[in-house]
C-alpha cells in the first residue's frame, strides 16, 4: 500500500518575484486608501448639496438667518478627527479664519457663506 502522507514541496520565490509582489500589495493598499478618501469626499459633498437645497427651500426661516447656528458646511469625519486630535491643530475648528480657509480649498463641501 502506497504512503498517502505527502509533504507538499516548499515553493521558493526569487527575490525579484517577492519584490514585485510587495510593490503590488503596497500599490493596492494605496489605491484602497485613495478610494476610501474619494467616497468620504463624495458623501460629504452630497450631504452639503442636500443642506444647500434645503436652505434654499426654507430661506425665510429665522433659523437660517441666525449667524450663531448657521450650518456652513460638511466636513468628512476623517479630516475632522485628524485635525481635532493633532496637538498642532488643537482648537482649529473654533478659528473662523481656519474654517474660512478650509472651505475655500474645499468649496464643494460648503453649504453657506461665512
Integer Cα distance of 50 and 97 in angstroms: 25
Integer Cα distance of 27 and 6 in angstroms: 37
First and final C-alpha spacing in the chain: 85
Task: Give CA angle at 36 (32, 101), nearest 5°.
Answer: 130
Q: Is the pTM of this model over 0.85?
A: no
Q: Kindly report the average pLDDT of the chain as a whole number.
A: 77
Sequence-distant (≥ 6) Cβ neighbours of residue 114 within 8 angstroms: 72, 96, 99, 100, 103
Q: Is the pLDDT of residue 66 over 80?
A: no
Task: Give tens-digit pLDDT for 15-48.
Answer: 888 888 888 888 787 788 888 888 888 888 888 8
Amino acid at each position: 500500500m502506497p504512503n498517502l502522507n505527502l509533504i507538499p514541496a516548499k515553493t521558493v520565490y526569487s527575490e525579484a518575484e517577492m519584490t514585485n509582489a510587495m510593490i503590488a500589495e503596497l500599490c493596492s493598499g494605496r489605491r484602497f486608501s485613495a478610494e476610501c478618501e474619494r467616497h468620504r469626499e463624495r458623501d460629504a459633498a452630497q450631504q452639503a448639496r442636500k443642506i444647500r437645497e434645503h436652505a434654499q427651500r426654507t430661506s425665510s426661516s429665522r433659523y437660517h438667518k441666525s449667524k450663531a447656528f448657521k450650518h456652513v458646511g460638511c466636513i468628512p469625519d476623517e479630516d475632522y478627527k485628524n485635525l481635532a486630535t493633532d496637538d498642532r491643530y488643537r482648537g482649529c475648528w473654533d478659528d473662523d479664519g481656519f474654517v474660512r480657509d478650509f472651505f475655500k480649498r474645499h468649496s464643494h463641501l460648503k453649504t453657506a457663506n461665512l
